[in-house]
Structure 1
Amino acid sequence: METGAYWLLYVVSFSGALLHWRLGNELLAALCGITALLSALLIGGIRITPVPR
């Protein structure tokens, strides 16, 4: 379930980045692009913060 939500976030944010970039709104395109990158990392299971030992 959680991975499916990350995939949905990735698809929506990636398409939003392309749409905003095409319309000339670079700020929202960058925000959507960062969100797409974050969701791709979450899909891959990569930890953003180190795990304490």
Structure 2
Amino acid sequence: METCSQSGNRDLAEELLGYFVEQGKEKCFAACLFTGYNLIRADVALELA
């Protein structure tokens, strides 16, 4: 998550969120939202949540 956030790649951050949803890892999903808040679009976060 930290590497993804530092990369500045929006698509990568949103793909990582999708991965956590698929795996059922709610805590990782929340941590990814917190870590990559500046990259992840609100509409994508709401859709995946």
TM-score class normalised by the smaller sequence = 0.3 to 0.5
Structure having the higher Rg: 1
State the TM-score, normalizing by the size of structure 2: 0.47
